[in-house]
Structure 1
Amino acid sequence: MFELIYPGLLAGILLSFSTGPLGSFIIWRRISSFGDTLSHSSILGLAISILFEIDSFYTVLFFMIFLAIVLAWIEKLLSVSLETILSIISHSSLSLGMIFISLMSTSRHIDLGNYLFGDLLIVTVFDLFIIALGSLIVLTILFFRWNSILLLTINEELAQIDGVNIFYARLTLMLTTALSISIAIKFVGVLLTTSLLIIPPATAQLFSDSPEKMIFFSILISIISVTGGMFLSFFYNTPTSPSIVFFSSCIYFLSNIKKIM
């Protein structure tokens, strides 16, 4: 039994090491819609990959990196709030991607099921290598840019006074999030990736009194969610990724109840 779910379980655990810290920063900066924007926009990246018959993983990865750079410049140049920009781009990209896919589906068969909801049970050894490499890159960047990104998150004006390049610190956070989401989408799916980014850090926030503790608990809760969700999926024959998100949500609500009591 364990041999069947081991690759997917290991993939989920490796993803937790990047989604936990990045999700914490997303919650601190109150830009949870940024994850939604990248996830929804990946549908347009998928449509482009189908149109030009290019590997979808690399197309989505480069498309989201490009989008993260564009968003960072837009936030710098325009006076409109980031939330407004994210909402417009999210819905526009999703709509355009679905239009392209619907037009192409008349000439070829396109199955969006796995892409929307993911499937951790189809993980290969090469996939594990990509996930491990992606998580290592994210953790390395966060380690070396920790002070500047954290200071930006706490107080942007104070960070600027302290000599932090606001644009590059913001861009670093956006690019690492884009990398993490593009990797996670293949296995967790477009509709559930943001949940994996947000719910464990939101739970960890209830028990943390410092940024470092919150990131540690985010990773731990994410690993517990992945493990619990996969075993739930195996024993009750439910979809893997939704089971993980459901298990994570249960931990969040139970933690809130315990906190109140």
Structure 2
Amino acid sequence: MRVEIWSDITCPWCYVAQARFEKALAAFPHRDEVEVVHRSFELEPGRAKGDVQPIIKVLMKGKGWSEAQALANERNLTRQSAGEGLPYVMGRDHGGTFDIHRLLHFAKAQGRQHELVGLLYRANFADERSVFDDERLVELAVEAGLDADAARKVLADPKAFAEDVRSDEREAAELGAQGVPFFVLDRKYGISGAQPAEAFSRALAQAWESARPALQVVGAGADAHACGPDGCPVPH
């Protein structure tokens, strides 16, 4: 079974949802047969690479909130994250994520995408240091098991894996995703938002059962003779 997750590394609800999904997946009896693929979704496509600002200012400008409202929002996210055992630093930086998504596609090609996603979430939401810096991204790539020079080369070339990012975003639009996180199970079931772990558990079970329905045995009446552990009885 394949689970595709459209997300953006700057999305706090993606950070929370990822933890809830992983909790559900860890308890899923068939977890070793589930392939998880991370897909790209930029919350601010086209944002300039150097346009990096504190999240409080971004919220005030983008949503028209007062500073008090922006801080209250951050405190709520701190509580929500803590409920999942996740650290959360208020006042982090915020910027465009196109390069980060390109790097994630490079990591996918190397079989290290899941490792890098986890590191990026932690670095963005739990560390004081900004992730909107190429050398910081290279450090995280190396921590995920990738080659430093290869990661630098990807970041230096704006065309590298760019079409992969755009393709993911087109697919998201075709599937009706208007925001993230957005989970798609076997292209049959969609889950939007940071649902509770129990909702992910139900969705995993439903998707698994619908793809592998229980065998319906017919004709198992008294006249349906068969052999078993005790031999093959002959009817009188």
TM-score normalised by the chain length of structure 2: 0.28
Higher-Rg structure is: 2
Say which structure is richer in strand.
2
Tell me the TM-score normalised to structure 1 length: 0.26
Q: Which has the larger helix fraction?
A: 1
